Structure 1
Amino acid sequence: MDKSLNTDRFLEVMGNYPTGVTVVTTTNDLKVPLGLTVNSFASVSLDPLLVLWSIDNSVSTYPVFTQTDHFAINVLANDQADICSSFAIKDIDRFSQCEWEFSNRNLPIISGAAGVLQCKTFKRIEAGDHMILIGEVIDILSTDKQPLLYHRRKMGGIPDSFYE
């Protein structure tokens, strides 16, 4: 089969798979906050508590994220679509677009997130044109906010009818 046909079909199927939306954050060597929008996020293990996410090899912050010892997964709330968009745009000061603060572990945390998992890097795995980063969860912030979802290039919350 034609490779582009396989890629197109793959993207079609994956685009029809709803996911939550996160912003992964860390700091560089100068303690400047860095972050990017990520929907390739999943839980891995309960003992120890492990999560994973992946980063494209071509992303400008790739060297920092693949070398950092700590990162935070900010699970965006359903009213934070603008933050998702801001952290997906290149060459802007992403952190000036939202409220945030440094955590007690010196990681940038986005205010109003549905939840935050602060992690220490557990393992890095090269996988095609991405690096999979597995983090051990070392601190958790949880709220009762609904998560932001991504489906077919659109963002939104869980409809109330879902719970009926």
Structure 2
Amino acid sequence: MQNWGPGSGIYLGKGLFITAAHVAGRSWLTRPKVAIAGSEYPTRVVKEGSFEGTDLTLLSVEEELLPVRLRLRRNSICTDPPRSGQEVVTIVPGSAVRSHILAPDRLPVETRKRFSTVIADVARTGNSGSGVFDVKRKCLLGIMSRKISQSQTRVGAGKPETRDIAKYFVPAAEIAAFLPTDLRL
């Protein structure tokens, strides 16, 4: 648990969990744990990114410690790039929320290049580290990283208002490139 709210992660298989780097924090300090159904499991940090760079951290838990129902699962990483309008599901603790990928031209100009993989429905689609899945192919399309907001000053209002417009996710291609070659599933 971070001071700003809960974060999530996705089980890839073979004891590996992926989350946003800022969820795990600086692992040498935070010593992240994985919590599943009220039980906490110690982790080993396999690879740590950064919020400013690749917002991913890969954690490992001794597979024998995990519940059998989880050990049997594997989440494949999508190989096709995300497409505007594509239907997705974000996995949040306790539910799955439907959304769709927004076209980059719906973003403020200054954010389009860096944050081109975004979904709509900011309020319900999960916190950082939540998984974004391709509905049809049932593969991991990305890991939720951050909200994209825009400040506007309405005529006569005087002070700016901030409006959330999308959520950026680290796309599957970056996840695949982030995974060490000997651990690619």
Larger Rg: 2
Whether TM-score is above 0.5 comes out as no
Bigger RCO (CA 8 Å, 6+ sep): 1
Choose between structure 1 and 2: higher strand proportion.
Answer: 1
TM-score (norm 2): 0.29
TM-score (norm 1): 0.32
